[in-house]
Amino acid sequence: MKRLFTVVALLCATTVSLTAQEITPEWYKSGKSHFKAVEKNTENNFTMSVMATIDGERCDSAFEIGVFCGEECRLSVPFYSSDELFNIVKFYSKLTVGGVTGEMFSFRMYDHRNNVEVAAEKCPVEITFTADKHYGSFNTGLYELAFNNSMTHRMALDIDDATDLPYTGKQYSITADGIACSYTRNAHLDGRYETIVLPFDADITEMKAAGFAFEKYYGFEDNTICFVELADEENLKAGIPYLFRYAGEPNDGRMEIEFTANVQQATGEIATQDGWTGTFKAMDGSAIAGKYILNVKGDKMQKAGSGASLAPYHCYLELPAGTDAASLSVSHRGNTTGINNIQEIDSEEIFDLYGRKLNEIPHNGIIIKNNKKIYIK
């Protein structure tokens, strides 16, 4: 009897502590619920003590649960936490849902950290209303609302040139730690240019220190596509196509380089600038034929035939319909020097990046004067 009394006392203490120390997320306290619940006056209800997971990863207080009967939201609640019991129950929610016999209830979830609703191929099983029924408890285990095969959220992204991007659109992190992203490239060390486009932002400070140089698109005119070297503080942006090469002592070897990041969002979309774009999926045959891909030297874009192929995370140029050329010239420019006051530039001859003489100083952009590149802000 004494042991039984002790167990009951501990359970009661746990319940009291859970209620007293409950932490409510700020988005809920400020009235920013995404789902708008409709109040229903019903005599009966069922209750649930729940947690939620996305592909097995526990959801935190950034997420909101909506309980739906058809398209009508009956309840909208956050996930709470408790300092004293966090190691036991982590994030949880308590649901009291009113209804009548025969009604079916489904569950949806919204991510307030990234402002997007969770979409998954397999959502939590619908529940048939049963008066006074209870699902889950803090003592025997919380009821799991499992969202599996998520189409919007993930914890990791590991890709290489043999792996197509496993999603379309955007992907969001399940936790505040971000999506652990990694892309591996077996890069040449002979100085040849390569193209690259990533689905996530990547810091390349260490790669620059190791001897790799990166260039971004600058412009296209007169069958010449121009690239300019990234400034020292610039990094790679998600969905933006770039060039890079090893600028150290050339050799015939290769080096496996890894681009890594922890990001809240990863993209499946690629920007296009004057036809300069890229792919997250392997291209061959008719998919790549007629488009222009970079040659080994990096001085020309050559028109691809039906036998060509392009690995994912590489880039190409697509000209407008009606234009045609067997190959296009490529121009590479180094870093530029920034100035704030264009009045400092005198009237000596100035040129654009294509070597054409300019009659006046532009309002912004890059010019060449005395064999030096100057960036006008």
Query: In terms of domains, do 177 and 129 share one?
Result: no
Query: In terms of domains, do 210 and 179 share one?
Result: yes
pLDDT digits (tens, 9 = 90+) for 267-313: 999 999 999 999 999 999 999 999 999 987 778 899 999 899 999 99
Among 299, 316, 333, the domain boundary falls at 333
Give the model's pLDDT for residue 20: 45
Report the CATH number that the domain containing residue 59 is assigned in CATH.
2.60.40
Domain that holds residue 144: 21-150
Query: In terms of domains, do 144 and 163 share one?
Result: no
Alpha carbons 316 and 297: distance in angstroms, whole number: 15
- The number of angstroms, rounded, from the C-alpha of 286 to the middle of its chain's C-alpha atoms is 29
Query: In terms of domains, do 276 and 317 share one?
Result: yes
Among 150, 180, 197, the domain boundary falls at 150
Among 150, 167, 191, the domain boundary falls at 150
Query: In terms of domains, do 184 and 227 share one?
Result: yes
Within-domain flag for 4: no
Give the model's pLDDT for residue 2: 38
Alpha carbons 70 and 63: distance in angstroms, whole number: 21
Query: In terms of domains, do 132 and 219 share one?
Result: no
CA pseudo-torsion sign 119, 121, 125, 126:
positive
- Looking at the 3D structure of the chain, how many domains does it have? 3
pLDDT digits (tens, 9 = 90+) for 221-252: 888 899 999 999 999 999 999 999 999 999 99
Give the model's pLDDT for residue 137: 92
Alpha carbons 371 and 377: distance in angstroms, whole number: 19
Question: In this model, does residue 97 exceed pLDDT 90?
Answer: yes
Query: In terms of domains, do 211 and 311 share one?
Result: yes
Within-domain flag for 320: yes
Give the model's pLDDT for residue 373: 60
Within-domain flag for 126: yes
Give the model's pLDDT for residue 340: 34
